[in-house]
Chain A
Amino acid sequence: AQSVTQLGSHVSVSEGALVLLRCNYSSSVPPYLFWYVQYPNQGLQLLLKYTSAATLVKGINGFEAEFKKSETSFHLTKPSAHMRDAAEYFCAVSDPNQGGKLIFGQGTELSVKP
């Protein structure tokens, strides 16, 4: 079975500071990994994905994530936070052999202080 753990339900940073959102996964097979962002009262938007190519993945809005198999981690980073980055962020895992079903973490709410 697959699972995702997001460490920290709420992260607060100052504008211009580094953003680090943590995600650890459990999977018995090489997984696909995803980060989604959700703004209030909206659906999910894909930020970036890892599908067994390069381990450092660059996404939209300046975000990137690094797949570390030895640590079973897929942390999301952004060098400099902007006010518009305030949102809920979800890490998700899927089994490439199981038809694309996504297993999500509980989410991390990012606040950005001026």
Chain B
Amino acid sequence: DAGVTQSPTHLIKTRGQQVTLRCSPKSGHDTVSWYQQALGQGPQFIFQYYEEEERQRGNFPDRFSGHQFPNYSSELNVNALLLGDSALYLCASSLAVGAREQYFGPGTRLTVT
């Protein structure tokens, strides 16, 4: 049973560029949440997708957007990258919104130079 997978593992971008991160949920899960973890900090909630719609959003600017596909996989897009966007981006999946347990992927390490 495959767990949550994320790609790429690492990437380096330049300020002002755009980036797309990808996540495949655990088998059987239909809800995907994205978190940003800056160095030395706890993860912060970005948004959650269910039934291909954004259901909840944290305190992140509109430069952060996402998408969920019919197979429940998800993308996180960040436009006009800033140095402060450098972080570990974590994807978590669960069975339905409000589930008691979320499973996290290994994360994508984004470095903005």
Task: Give chain A's interface residues, CB within 8 Å of chain B.
Answer: 4, 32, 36, 41-46, 49, 51, 90, 92, 96-107
Q: Is B41's CB under 8 angstroms from A42's CB?
A: no
Contact residue among A32, A36, A45, A107 (Cβ-Cβ distance under 8 Å from B100): A32
Task: Give chain B's interface residues, CB within 8 Å of chain A.
Answer: 4, 31, 33, 35, 40-45, 48, 55-56, 58, 90, 92, 94, 97-107, 109
Given A42-B107, A101-B45; 7 other pairs, CB 8 A cutoff: A46-B103, A97-B98, A99-B48, A99-B98, A102-B102, A104-B42, A107-B41
Contact residue among A43, A92, A97, A106 (Cβ-Cβ distance under 8 Å from B90): A43
- In the assembled complex, the Cα of A102 lies from the Cα of B41 at a distance in Å of 14
Contacts of A92 in B (CB 8 A): 42
Closest residue of chain B to A95 (Cβ to Cβ) is B98
